[in-house]
Structures are given as C-alpha cells and as structure tokens.
A and B are shown apart, each in its own frame.
Chain A
Amino acid sequence: MIELIIVSILLVLGYLVGSSREKKHYASIKEREAKLRHIMVFESKHVPASANSGELVYGNVVISTDYFKMFVAGLRKLVGGRLTTFESLLDRGRREAILRLKQEAVEIGASSVFNVRFETSSVSQGANGYIGSIEVLAYGSAVTQR
C-alpha cells in the first residue's frame, strides 16, 4: 500500500509541475517566435545569389519528461496507440531548437538560414521506467545578405 501512496504522490507532483512548466515554456516560445519572425528558415539547399557570407548555426535543446508522462507512456506501451503526452514534448523541443538557431543567426547579423535540418536523439534511452529526455538539434547555414 505504501508503494501505491508514493506513486500517487509522484504522479500528482509530476502532473502539476510538468503541466505548469509546459504552459510557461509554450508562452515563452510564442513570444520569441513573434520577435524572431523576421529571420527566415528554409529547408532548401539553394542559397540565393545575393548571399554575402554564410556560417553554420545550430540550436540545441534537451527536455526531460516528468513522472506523469512516463507513467502514461508506460501504460500506452501495453495497448498501443498515439502517445499524446510525448507529442507536446517533441513539439516544444523542435520549436525551441529553431528559436535558438534563429537567435544565433541574429547574433551574426544574418537574415535567413538555409538547409535547415533536425536531429532528434533520446538521452538515456528511457529504458524500462527511467525518466527519459529528448535532445533536439536544428542546424543550418545562416546567410547574410549583401
């Protein structure tokens, strides 16, 4: 019975803290996206002729799950289906990585980033109940216009 009580406390804590942090993160993401809207990011490899100089920029972020998310994911693993609790995690990770990429571009005076690619890796592999975390890397060539 003690185990049940401990797990319940961890679940409540994980849910409350996790969802509050997620809301704050999304608010911050939206705010910065509005500010950095003038930096264009392209997936295309073709750099326009008007480009002056280019430099590799990247944005990197590591986000951890909380106990509640891992618990729901564990249950979902038994029956299959969409893991919706992790969708928001990856969404936040990718958008944050792009924002940091844009921030680096701003710092070198670039106005657009070309050939943007994503790399997602899972730190600690989330093996059998351990709290997993995801790392998202976004990289590209930042280009300053003449």
Chain B
Amino acid sequence: MQYQNPTPDDSVNVSQEHPLKEFAQLLIGISLVSLLLIWLLSASVGWLARFVPFEYEQSLVGELDINAVGLKAVSGAEQAKLQALADRLSVHMDLPSGMKITVHYVDDETVNALATLGGNVVFFSGLVNKLDSEQSLAMVMAHEIAHVKLRHSIAAAGKGLTIGALLAFVTNVSGSSAGSFLLGNSSQLSVLSYSRAQESAADELAAAALYYEYGDVAGAIELFSFFSELENESLLNSTVPTLYRSHPFSDQRAEALRSLASQRGWPLSAKEALHKSG
C-alpha cells in the first residue's frame, strides 16, 4: 500500500491572534474592573468610617505606648508645650465632644509628624527642630488635628483591611501572580489618590484654624515653602510623579492655600492683616 505524506496546513493548532492584542485586552479590561472595584470599596469604607464611634477608636488603641513600636517618646517641656499648642488650636477646630488630642513627642531625627487612631498625634524632634516659627509648627499641628477630626485614620485602617482581604482572595484563590500584581498596583494608586485628597482636606481645615488663632495664614505659606525645599533637595523625591505621592507636591498645596485664602479673605501675612480694613 502506497502512503503519501502531503504538507498540511500547519497553522490549525495555533491561534492567529496577535499576542500583544490579547495582552492589551486583558490588561485594560482587568485594570478597569479592578480600579472600579477598589474605588467602590474605598469610597464605601471611607464613608462608613465616620459611623465608627470615636470611643471605639480610643479603646482599639488603648493607652498608646509609643515605646512599644520602637520609638522613644519623651515627656518634658517640649511635650507639654506641644500639648498646650494642640489644646489652643483644638478650640478653633470645633472638635466633637469626647474627641481629645494626645500629643507624643519622639526624640528622633525624622522630619515628620503623624496622626493615628484614637486622637494620638506624634511629633518627631527632627521636624520640630527644623521649623523656624511657632506658626509653621502650628500649621503642622492643626493639620494633624484635622486628620483626627475628619476620621482619616480609621478610614485608612478600614480601607487597608478590605483591600487587603480582596488582594488575599485573588492571590490565594486564583493563584495568579499577574492578577495580584495588577490588583496590588491598582489598589496602591487608589489608596495614594485618596490619601492626597485627605491631605488637601486637612490643609483646608488647618488653614482655617491658623487664621482664627493668629489672624493670618503666614505659617502655612512658610511651611509649604520649607517642604518644597526639602523635596527639591532629594532627586529621588522630586522625580516621583504625583500619581505615586501620598501628599500633593508642596507647590500645589501652597497654590491651593493661596486661592482658598483669597476666597475666604484670609491675609497671607501679618503685614497684610495689619493693612486689611475692618
């Protein structure tokens, strides 16, 4: 028996679709869905956070032992003065009853300050030593108090939990590292964008408090130009695009403050306040 072996069409078992087309479709499709999902989760958790009673936050944190997280909290003249500043500014910030601000002063060269759960605010000596005037320090304090008032810490904690759970489900159930990479990046972008919005909101409240206490917002202007200098000093810091920043660029914050000040009629300096009529 004679057998023949003709050349068959060899492309039957391979898809003719270009791999890049499939890649683009999957990437865009899944990115959009995950961004939407994360935005929905973040928005609802952020909105629900305000219903968590402040007492719950306080009991969650208990007597915050800063030393337990490896930071050296010192009590003394600095801590007392910072606490006094916080109490003075709190009067202007219309805090709900039961919301108390507790200031911790840490002897560390980190140039930063933060607000966390239960009304606890931490100031690092690095920041305090670098600021030249009480008013710029007051702006930082008012900003952190604003975070507490706006319940940003509990909202962030809630979001962290829900998005973390979503990520864990996707990673463990699908076993898809590409999927969890994509979801992880989408959630990072979403969290950072929400963080920037929170910072702007805190800036607004803080500037108002500054105006009521000092009669002008010079402290805020001074603070943002100081931050701007710090940003420009570090090449790494200044090249990170806005999308990946937890705070807006300090120039943008100053810009936003100026337009807010002109809207509300807040003087930008003591001189301006002096010459202002009425």
Which residues of A line the B interface, CB within 8 A?
1, 3-4, 7, 15, 19, 30, 33-34, 37-38, 40, 48, 68-79, 82, 84-85, 87-88, 90-91, 95, 112, 127-129
Contact = CB atoms under 8 A, between A and B. Distances in A.
B14 interface: yes
A25 B28 CA distance: 31
Interface residues of B, number: 29
21 contacts: A3-B181, A7-B181, A19-B19, A33-B10, A38-B5, A40-B3, A71-B23, A72-B178, A74-B176, A74-B178, A75-B176, A75-B178, A77-B174, A77-B176, A78-B174, A84-B17, A90-B13, A91-B14, A95-B10, A129-B177, A129-B178
Nearest to B175: A128
A119 B20 CA distance: 30
Given A7-B181, A70-B178, A77-B176, A84 B22 contact: yes
Contacts of A88: 14-15
Nearest to A129: B177
Given A84-B19, A84-B22, A87-B15, A78 B10 contact: no
A75 B179 contact: yes
Contacts of A127: 175
Nearest to A18: B19
B244 interface: yes
Given A37-B5, A48-B1, A85-B19, A79 B14 contact: no
B23 A79 contact: no
Given A1-B240, A4-B185, A129-B177, A72 B26 contact: yes
Contacts of A75: 23, 26-27, 30, 176, 178-179, 182
Contacts of A40: 3, 5
A37 B8 CA distance: 11
A130 to B, nearest CB: 9
A62 B22 CA distance: 25
Nearest to B177: A129
B201 interface: no
Nearest to A95: B10
Interface in B1-45: 1, 3, 5, 7, 10, 13-15, 17, 19-20, 22-23, 26-27, 29-30
A129 B176 CA distance: 7
Nearest to A34: B7
